[in-house]
């Protein structure tokens, strides 16, 4: 049974980040720690009682394609109706269209809960939220009034329609044609890998589609963004005729079986009616509004599945009796959680999940400070930091989620390889998170190219200085916390040196720098996670004698383990960044 980690989330929101300071913004005057608590508690109840019970049956039944349209697994339609009735689609959406304005950090915390309980279900609302955000920032007033109220309420869903069979991740190869027709367009083409691209949960789906207007320039500069509703919408908001868009098939996937991944055909007859968003040729720019939102959300999905895998593995280890550990125990076999290596695996799962959670929520908090902060210089600095962290959240947290889920199978032993125990589903489901919205390699290139390269490391340098200052300023009396602090500080120094080395490579031999992009991204994840866990340990140690003493003691021990058995990865990765690139660039591809 899934248990939403409410106390962990409260710790990060209230004690580590102090997100209550956001209430100083006039636009968040109603926000408080109490409000955030009530939101995540209600989300936890819904996840535990409605979504999690559908996770295994949804995986077994899967979504089903029919000529009339895609059918979600049994129970999903009713769950979605309850989701809408609870007002969850409105969370974090624009209030002028019926949304509830809360900080992104709270939306991210709630998203973790949905992802842990039922990742396949969570993907649909996630993409709708991204489509709402893109339309809010880039759509015309008429488009917003026509589409946003029902998308914000959840009555309609939204999608992100990018790639095509020949394009993959290279969106410059998009061929979908948009033929002008009066003020609008007719769209022709085929798209693949469209998550929740067709379903029976709602009466309408609003597709956000990349296409190329006839005569547009080749490459990314010729791509525009279009609204293509499944059903045309009348001026009064009622549904009109069926648009010329059809689901040809759904993919047979490794995991997330309950989430339909669709092949969509636009314009098999007269062309799908399409409405251009914003200016022609700026489609990729507008789509990146959705993509950056999705990348943060997908990063949280990595550790969300990891959290669920950890809970199942820990429950198993507490009740599975096998062998006698080499410590004083009652006679006879003991629960396997007493065996040192099982404890090690569980601590690896727990500590890396907590580090990932802290990193993702810290990134979301920076974006909140950028959006709601009072002073312009501080807002600009927070925006630069939040954007810098997005590829690390997406890349590192999803890689960690895969590692944690795989370790959950290992804790179960042979029983973990059997589907009935449930551990294997997490491995299959989380695997996609390192791929969609840009693979780990793409995230790493974004980090060193767009983010590190655009300001020659200024934003990263500011983060490194803040981490160093924070760690040096910690008031520490507990010896274990002091050891953790010292390890985190040493790791920050290694990351700073590796950053300078990488900047030199990018300036002289960009290919050498690109060859260590993933190791550098992983280095950043481990070190930033270590910084945040060291701060967490110091906070927890100061409160260890009061209420929640077991919770705070566990925070200290988890950080101690991370410093001893996880953070040393930074040493090896820093060495790779400094000198490992040429081993790639000097190897001829024919020799691989």
Active site residues: 437
Q: Token pair 């109490």 is at which residue? A: 34
Burial of residue 47 (number of CB atoms within 10 Å: 0-12, 13-18, 19+): buried
- Work out whether strand 231-233 and strand 239-242 pair parallel, antiparallel, or are unpaired: antiparallel
Q: Identify the DSSP state of 73.
A: P
| Strand spans (E) along 123-183 | 157-161, 177-181
Hey, CA dihedral for 319, 324, 329, 332, is it positive or negative? positive
What angle (nearest 5°) sits at the alpha carbon of residue 452, between those of residues 491 and 167? 120
Length, in residues, of the chain: 592
Instruction: Report DSSP letters for 235-253, one per residue.
Output: TTS-EEEEPSEEEEEE---
What totals of helices (H) and strands (E) does the chain contain, helices first?
19, 12
Q: Token pair 């003691």 is at which residue? A: 553
Rounded Cα gap, residues 298 and 72, in angstroms: 21
Rounded Cα gap, residues 330 and 311, in angstroms: 26
Rounded Cα gap, residues 517 and 88, in angstroms: 37
Which letter, b or e, does each residue of 478-495 get, where b requires 16 or more Cβ atoms within 10 Å of its Cβ?
bebbbbbbebbbbbbebb
| 317: phi then psi, degrees, rounded to nearest 5 | -65, -30
Rounded Cα gap, residues 157 and 582, in angstroms: 47
Q: Are 284 and 220 in contact (CB under 8 A)?
A: yes
Q: Are 402 and 434 in contact (CB under 8 A)?
A: yes
Tokens at 392, concatenated: 């690390």
Q: Are 185 and 179 in contact (CB under 8 A)?
A: yes
Q: Are 246 and 258 in contact (CB under 8 A)?
A: no
Rg (CA), the chain: 24
């Amino acid at each position: 049974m899934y248990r939403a980690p409410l106390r962990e989330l409260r710790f990060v929101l209230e004690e580590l980040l102090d997100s209550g300071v956001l209430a100083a913004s006039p636009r968040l005057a109603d926000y408080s720690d109490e409000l955030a608590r009530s939101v995540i508690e209600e989300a936890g109840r819904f996840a535990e009682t409605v979504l999690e019970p559908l996770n295994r049956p949804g995986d077994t039944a899967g979504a089903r394609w029919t000529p009339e349209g895609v059918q979600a697994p049994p129970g999903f339609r009713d769950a979605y109706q309850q989701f809408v009735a609870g007002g969850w689609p409105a969370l974090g959406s624009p209030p002028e269209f019926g949304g509830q304005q809360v900080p992104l950090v709270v939306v991210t915390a709630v998203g973790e809960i949905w992802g842990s309980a039922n990742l396949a279900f969570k993907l649909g609302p996630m993409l709708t939220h991204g489509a709402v955000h893109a339309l809010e920032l880039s759509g015309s007033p008429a488009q917003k009034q026509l589409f946003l109220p029902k998308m914000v309420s959840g009555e309609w869903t939204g999608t992100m329609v990018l790639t095509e069979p020949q394009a993959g991740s290279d969106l410059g190869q998009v061929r979908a044609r948009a033929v002008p027709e009066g003020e609008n367009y007719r769209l022709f083409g085929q798209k693949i890998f469209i998550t929740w691209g067709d379903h029976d949960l709602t009466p309408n789906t609003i597709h956000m589609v990349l296409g190329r207007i006839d005569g547009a320039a080749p490459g990314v500069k010729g791509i525009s963004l279009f609204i293509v509703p499944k059903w045309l919408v009348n001026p009064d908001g009622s549904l009109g005729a069926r648009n010329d868009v059809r689901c040809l098939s759904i993919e047979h996937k490794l995991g997330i079986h309950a989430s339909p991944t669709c092949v969509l055909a636009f314009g098999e007859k007269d062309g799908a009616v399409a409405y251009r968003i914003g200016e022609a040729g700026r489609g990729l720019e507008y789509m990146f509004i959705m993509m950056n939102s999705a990348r943060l959300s997908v990063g949280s999905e990595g550790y969300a599945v990891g959290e669920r895998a950890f809970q199942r593995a820990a429950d198993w280890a507490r009740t599975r009796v096998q062998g006698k550990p080499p410590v004083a125990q009652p006679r006879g076999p003991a629960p396997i959680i007493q065996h040192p290596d099982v404890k090690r695996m569980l601590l690896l799962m727990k500590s890396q999940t907590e580090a990932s959670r802290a990193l993702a929520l810290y990134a979301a908090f920076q974006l909140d400070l950028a959006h709601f902060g009072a002073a312009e210089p501080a807002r600009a600095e927070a925006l630069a930091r939040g954007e810098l962290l997005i590829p690390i959240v997406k890349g590192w947290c999803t890689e960690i989620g895969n590692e944690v889920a795989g370790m959950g199978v290992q804790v179960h032993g042979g029983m973990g390889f059997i589907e009935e125990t449930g551990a294997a589903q997490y491995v299959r489901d989380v695997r996609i998170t390192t791929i969609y919205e840009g693979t780990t390699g793409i995230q790493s290139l974004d980090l060193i190219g767009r983010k590190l390269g655009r300001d020659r490391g200024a934003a990263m340098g500011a983060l490194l200085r803040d981490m160093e200052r924070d760690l040096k300023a910690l008031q520490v009396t507990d010896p274990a916390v002091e050891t953790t602090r010292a390890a985190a500080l040493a790791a920050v120094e290694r990351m700073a040196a590796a950053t300078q080395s990488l900047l030199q490579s990018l300036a002289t031999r960009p290919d050498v720098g690109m060859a260590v992009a993933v190791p550098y991204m992983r280095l950043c994840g481990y070190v930033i996670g270590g910084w945040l866990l060291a701060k967490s340990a110091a906070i927890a140690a100061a409160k260890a004698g009061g209420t929640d003493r077991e919770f705070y003691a566990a925070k200290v021990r988890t950080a101690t383990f991370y410093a001893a058995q996880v953070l040393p990865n930074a040493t090896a990765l820093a060495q790779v960044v400094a000198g490992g690139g040429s081993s790639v660039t000097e190897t001829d591809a024919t020799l691989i």
